Amino acid sequence: MSSVLKNGSYDVLIDSEINNTQTSIIGQNESITKRYEVLREQLEHALKAKDQAISYNAFLENQLYKAREEIKRLNEEINELVQKGYNV
């Protein structure tokens, strides 16, 4: 990077400011990249958790359906016994 001529001398301060700005920008870029990676990992984890929740919900809905069917069957059996005169 070339220095700027000011009043007959090189302006080292300008070069230093430019270098500091470049270093700051590079550091910010690295920080943004790291934050992106963290967010991407969190998203992947959240999507896996969502898939697991959907799967478990389907399992529970299936169990609920089976339980309701069993209740219907038992109610029908009770009704048949009552019709036959059994004291239930």
8 Å CB contact between 18 and 3 = no
Mean pLDDT of the chain: 87
pLDDT above 90: percentage of residues in the chain: 60
Q: Is 44 helix (H, G, I), strand (E, B) or coil?
A: helix
DSSP β-bridge partners for residue 4:
11
The model's pTM is: 0.59
Distances from the Cα of 3 to the Cαs of 17, 26, 65, 69, in angstroms?
11, 21, 79, 85
Please give the average per-residue pLDDT across 42-50, as a whole number: 97
| Structure confidence at residue 29 as a pLDDT band (50, 70, 90) | confident
Residues contacting residue 10 through CB under 8 Å, at least 6 positions apart:
3, 4
Please give the average per-residue pLDDT across 21-40, as a whole number: 89
pLDDT given for residue 28 in this prediction? 87
